[in-house]
Amino acid sequence: MQQLQGKVALVTGASRGIGRGIAEAFAAAGADVVVNYRSHADEAQAVAETITGLGSRVLVRQADVADRGAVRGMFDAAIDHFGHLDIAVANAAHSIREPVIEAKWENILRTVEVTQFGVFHTCQFAAQQMVKQGLRGNRSAGKIIVISSIHQELAFPLSAGYNMAKAAVNHLVRTMAAELTPYHINVNVINPGWIDTPGERAYFTEEDIRRGAQILPWKRLGTIEDIGQGAVYLASDAADYVTGTTLRIDGGFMVGLGLPGGAGS
């Protein structure tokens, strides 16, 4: 089913992990895709080849989302190439795990610059373009999706910079949703749970991941395809009446939390 036929989508951090899952799911649903990456050029090209293999057009664009000028240039290139923009996904993020009392300021700053400010740059430029394009027919003038995390809800240790940045972007989504309702632009956020991505291998062994999956309610980590399908829904006409909401895709992680032995309070 081509829910996104004729649409153009821009996805930041799309060379691997969740961003890749979203970009490929969009292409499978009929959208043309701008694949943003910062440092994994070969993987971005592999995503582009998958997208063209699915019959969609693609533009690959390198940009560090923490660099406002680079993000502006990426949007300009996307409009020059495709003529319009219907969907923007602010996915790119950065995290270095350290306890607060030992955290290096440069690591906190970089985390916030990418994970919070990079989301702001992406969302603002997307909204400006969508407002400029205006409402076409009686459907949404555009869809903006932010990829946040259950870190926004739970204070995971060793992730102070990441946690506070994710909490900030969730509130940004609600603010933008309120401001953009007159333009019929939908703004929503996805909170993924523990997702099987290359980034997890920086902190966990394969055995850690296998064992960890068994304590989750679904008995598996989430996949990039799980997140991709949620993003397709929010980007589609089926979600035209959905804005300012948080879609948690976590296989029951949050609702499965409880005291040892399942004891109640």
Choose among 78, 77, 76, 71: nearest CA to 92.
71
**Burial (CB count <10 Å: 0-12, 13-18, 19+), residue 246:** middle
Q: What radius of gyration, in Å, describes the C-alpha atoms of the chain?
A: 18
CB atoms within 10 A of CB 218: 15
> What are the residues facing 195 on neighbouring strands?
222
Could you write out the DSSP letters of every residue in 207-235?
A: HHHHHHHHTSTTSS-B-HHHHHHHHHHHH
Q: Which two tokens stand for residue 154?
A: 């739970």
Which residue among the candidates 37, 162, 183, 241 is catalytic per the annotation?
162
Measured distance CA(141)–CA(184) in Å, rounded: 6
Look at the chain and count its residues: 265
Q: Which two tokens stand for residue 104?
A: 């290096």
**Burial (CB count <10 Å: 0-12, 13-18, 19+), residue 131:** middle
Choose among 75, 114, 109, 113: nearest CA to 92.
114
Q: Which two tokens stand for residue 231?
A: 């993003």
Q: Which two tokens stand for residue 248?
A: 């948690």
**Burial (CB count <10 Å: 0-12, 13-18, 19+), residue 70:** middle
Among this protein's residues, is 233 annotated catalytic? no
Residues belonging to the active site: 162
